[in-house]
Every structure is written in structure tokens, then in C-alpha cells.
Amino acid sequence: MKNENLNSSHITWHQSNIKKKNRQKLNGHKSIMIWFTGLSGSGKSTIANALQNELFNKGIHCYLLDGDNLRYGINRNLTFSDEDRKENIRRTAEVGKLFVDAGIVVLAALISPYEEDRKKARSLFEKDEFFEVYINCSLQECEKRDPKGLYKKARLGEISQFTGISQPYEEPKNPDIQINTTNLSVKESVQKILPYIFKKLDLKNARKKE
Ligand code: ADP
């Protein structure tokens, strides 16, 4: 394992005897990162949660990394500046990579507004291990929903650096799947994503939850 950015040249990668594929075999399915991107209020957390329920109920080992929740802990020192958003995504992707290495299906829900950062996140994973879901919803609709009252605050100037209002959102050019929540319900959205995920998981003996 090479890393040009290491601060010390005295660190050596120690190989684990138990490999990702051993853990995947034990779990009965492959492990992947499902990365949700989209405007605030587009439905990332809601759909990721609903998808997690479906996976869990099928006996799939999964875990949701929600951008807001991570800012309570590992990312608590980060702001919404461009630089900190980059770091927010880098850390989330790295944590996700550990989960995937541990054989878990990871769902990450973050605005992740910049193509470059999402590309970097994808680059941490093997081919076919990273699945990008673009939760596409018009700014107008997101602002109408405003589930956390953030758009109102952003319009009043009480929140600076707000994606869609005072910071850009770069639409994914090549998402693995695009879900338009202006037209689709949460249930319909999950049903649209599920077949793609099942195909990737190579399900063998995942147990159905009682
Ligand atoms: P995000 O994680 O993208 O910021 P949230 O999931 O927190 O968004 O909030 C989305 C809000 O929009 C929720 O209150 C949800 O109930 C509502 N909503 C309405 N229609 C939909 C839909 N079709 N898909 C997802 N969320 C929807």
C-alpha cells in the first residue's frame, strides 16, 4: 500500500490475515459504497434510510453514514468552506472504505457538491465497489420542503456558504443512477435503486431477517 501523502516515511502497511473477500464470504454478499449526492432537502437521508431498511430486512450487513450525523463526531471540527467540505468528503469516503473492507454495505448521504471531490471519493474504491446515486430535485422543490428550515435561514443571510443559494452544486455528469424525487415517492425511489444494488451484491446466503 503506497501513500505519497504520508507525513512519515517510517510507516509500513501491515497486511491483515483476514481479507475483504473472506469477510464478504462470511456475510454472504459483496460490500460496496452507495454514495448519495444532491441538494439539501432533495431526500438523500430519507431514501438512504429507507433503502437501508430494505437491505437490513434482507439480512444484508449495512450501515448508513449520514453527513449531518458525522458532523457530530469525526467531522465536528469542519465548517462548510470549500476546503472543509473537501475534507468532510475525504474522511467520509475513507471511513466508508474501512466499512467496505470490513464486508459491510455502506450508504453515505452527503450533499458532496463538487464533482472533483466525488471523483476522489470514488477513486478510493475498487471498480464496481462505488455506486453513485444522484438524488435530483429542483432547488425550488427543495426550498419548498425545507425540512430543517435551512433555506429560509440561508435566504435571510443567517447561513452563509449554503449549497444552491450561495455556493454551487455541480450535477454529477455520470451517476450510476439518477432519482428524481420531484416525481418519485420515497418507496418508488427505493424500488428503482434496489435491483442495481442486488446485482452488485452477488447475494448468496444473506439471511432473511425474522
Ligand atoms: P437531504 O438528506 O437530501 O438533505 P432529507 O432526506 O433530510 O434530505 O429531507 C428530505 C425531505 O423531503 C423529507 O422531509 C422528506 O420527507 C421529504 N420528501 C418529500 N417527498 C420526497 C421524496 N419523493 N423523496 C424523498 N424525500 C421526500
Residue range 65-99, pLDDT digits in tens:
999 999 999 999 999 998 999 999 999 999 999 99
**Which residue of 46, 70, 142 sits with most ligand 1 atoms within 8 Å of its CB, as the best mutation to test the pocket?**
46
- Centre of ligand 1 to C-alpha 3, Å, is 38
Question: How far is ligand 1, taken at its centre, from the CA of residue 165, in Å?
Answer: 18
Q: Is there a domain that residue 146 lies in?
A: no
Asked if residue 115 is part of any domain, the answer here is: yes
**What domain range is 73 assigned to?**
19-138+168-199
Give me the CATH number covering residue 194.
Answer: 3.40.50.300
What is the average pLDDT score of the chain? 94
81 annotated active-site: no
The answer to whether residue 150 sits within a structural domain is: no
In a domain, 157, yes or no: no
162 touches ligand 1 (CB under 6 Å): no
Ligand 1 near 183 CB (within 6 A): no
* Whether residue 31 has its Cβ less than 6 Å from ligand 1: no
Whole-number Å distance, alpha carbon 12 to ligand 1 midpoint, is: 44
Residue 205 has pLDDT above 70, yes or no: no
Q: How many structural domains are present in the chain? A: 1
Distance 187 CA to ligand 1 centre (A): 12
Q: Can you give the pLDDT at residue 3?
A: 59
**pLDDT for res 69:** 96
Q: Residue 208: which pLDDT band, with cuts at 50, 70 and 90?
A: low
The reply to whether 204 falls in a domain is no
pTM: 0.94
Q: What is the mean pLDDT of residues 196-207?
A: 83
Q: Is 137 in the pocket of ligand 1 (CB under 6 A)?
A: no
Q: Is residue 172 part of a domain?
A: yes
Q: Indicate whether 136 pLDDT > 90.
A: yes
Residue 114 lies in a domain: yes
**What is the reported pLDDT for 2?**
56
pLDDT of residue 92: 98
The verdict on the CB of residue 147 being under 6 Å from ligand 1 is: yes
* Confidence at residue 10, expressed as pLDDT on a 0 to 100 scale: 84
Residue range 23-66, pLDDT digits in tens? 999 999 999 999 999 999 999 999 999 999 999 999 999 999 99
- CA 158 – CA 152 distance, rounded (Å): 9
